[in-house]
Chain A
Amino acid sequence: MKTNIYLYIFVMAFTTWCMRVIPSLIMKKPIENRFAKSFLYYVPYVTLAIMTFPAIVQATDQPLAGAAALVAGILAAWFGANLFSVASICCITVLLLEFLL
């Protein structure tokens, strides 16, 4: 028998929310341990880097366009473009290249 779809959605949403707030329930003050501090310092950058590559190359119809968007985005961000500009530059790069290729 199929579980009620709304119960399913509720359980999915609630479980996800628990993952978000568990650390808030445990931590009362910043961690002092050097390893833990360093570990937490690297987590965000490592996580986002893993999510970006190679996914960006697979997201576009032409892998080359995705790769070009990655390079264009890195260059733009390196030279100080803000979040929205970098995202736009990546989109435009793909649009142009896929039009040409």
Chain B
Amino acid sequence: MELKENRSKLYIEGVKAGIPIGLGYFAVAFSLGIAARDYGFNAFQGFIASLFTYASAGQYIGFSLYAANGTLLTLIVLTAITNLRYILMGFALNQGMPAGTPLGTRMLVGTCITDEIFSVTIARPGIPTPWFTFGALLTAAPMWAAGTAVGISMGSILPARIVSALSVALFGMFIASIIPPARKDRAVAFAIAVSFACSYACEHVPGIKDFSSGTRLTILAIGISALFAVIMPRADEEDKKLEELEELGETDGEVRSEN
């Protein structure tokens, strides 16, 4: 359990991680807002939908279902399927918390899960803590909501060039989360290469390419992770060694970024 004075430090660390995430969110939410407007949402409705849901693909599906007069049951089923990866991420985060972690702490960390907050929480050394995740979420989610509202009300005022450039910020953050571990662990590098290839292939395979991106993501994530768990399982001792390496590496990275 962290000391009290550490909590504000952890929170600020979360805020710092949340700023680039929020900037990327703003750009992506902007394009989500343009879609939401077409589906009949006004800026206020888009704002609260984004503020409380903070899930990109899931929201897109929800918005389009509303326009298509989908029932609430359809909405529940499709939202659950599209966001199935959050369950996987939730298990991965809980895996990092020792036995005896209070249920409240576990639930608060789970509440903060988005693709990006999950990745910065996983990349961070030490046990996942709600102080860090809330710092990130409370910084990034309002920007996600603001981006949606601005996208709905301003539509296409921003120059296309700026929108195009901003749209890769989010992917830059993904890359920054997966490359350093790939450098340390060849199995991870291999898994990433296979993921790239399968993800690309699935966009072109008849049948699979018609699934929603959330569904495709879930199927691929389960399939490839299971494959690697079988062909390149992690040995327990290797586990410990890697964790040590990871901690050393991350500390280096932190010092660098603060200088």
B24 is an interface residue with CB less than 8 A from chain A: yes
Shortest distance between the CB of B185 and any CB in chain A (Å): 9
Interface string of B35-67 (1 = CB under 8 A from A): 000001100010011001111001100100010
Q: Most chain-B Cβ atoms within 10 A of its Cβ — which of A11, A18, A88, A91?
A: A91
Q: Is the CB of A73 within 8 A of B95?
A: no
User: When the two chains form the complex, which single residue of B94, B118, B165, B172 contacts A95, counting CB atoms closer than 8 Å?
Assistant: B165
B173 interface neighbour in A15, A37, A83, Cβ under 8 Å: A83
Chain A interface main SS type: helix
The answer on a CB contact under 8 Å between B58 and A16 is: yes
Interface residues of A in 26-53 (CB under 8 A from B): 27-31, 34-53
Collect the chain B residues with CB atoms within 8 Å of residue A55's CB. 171
Distance, CA A55 to CA B111, complexed state (A): 26
- B75 within 8 Å of A (CB atoms): yes
The reply to whether B103 and A24 contact each other, CB–CB distance below 8 Å, is yes
Measured CB to CB, the nearest residue on chain A to B31 is: A59
Residues in B neighbouring A60, C-beta threshold 8 A: 164-165, 167-168
Which of under 10, 10 to 19, 20 to 34, or 35 or more describes the interface residues of B? 35 or more
Convert A65-101 into 0s and 1s, putting 1 for each residue whose CB lies closer than 8 angstroms to a CB of B. 1100110011011101111111111111111001100
Q: Within the complex, what minimum Cβ distance (angstroms) separates B217 from chain A? A: 6
Cβ contact of B95, chosen from A40, A70, A76, A80, cutoff 8 A? A40
Cross-chain contact A86 with B172 (CB below 8 angstroms): yes
Contact of A48 among B87, B100, B177 (CB under 8 A): B177
Is the C-beta of B182 less than 8 angstroms from some C-beta in chain A?
Answer: yes
| Interface residue B4 (Cβ < 8 Å from any Cβ of A) | no
Nearest B residue to A60 via CB reads B164
- Which residue of A8, A18, A47, A94 is within 8 Å of B85 (Cβ)? A47
Instruction: Report A-chain residues with C-beta under 8 Å of the C-beta of B166.
Output: 91
A31 touches B95 (CB 8 A): yes
CB-CB under 8 A from B92, the residues of chain A are 40-41, 43-44
Given that A19-B83, A78-B179 are contacting pairs, would A66 and B94 also be in contact in the complex, using a CB cutoff of 8 Å?
Answer: no
Q: Interface residues, chain A, CB within 8 Å of chain B?
A: 2-3, 5-13, 15-25, 27-31, 34-56, 59-62, 65-66, 69-70, 73-74, 76-78, 80-95, 98-99
* B binding-site residues for A, Cβ under 8 Å: 17, 19-20, 23-24, 40-41, 45, 48-49, 52-55, 58-59, 62, 66, 69, 71-72, 75-76, 79-80, 83-100, 103, 106-107, 109-113, 115, 118-120, 122, 160-162, 164-183, 187-188, 191-192, 195-196, 198-200, 203, 217, 220-221, 224-226, 228-230, 232-234, 236, 239, 252-253, 256-257
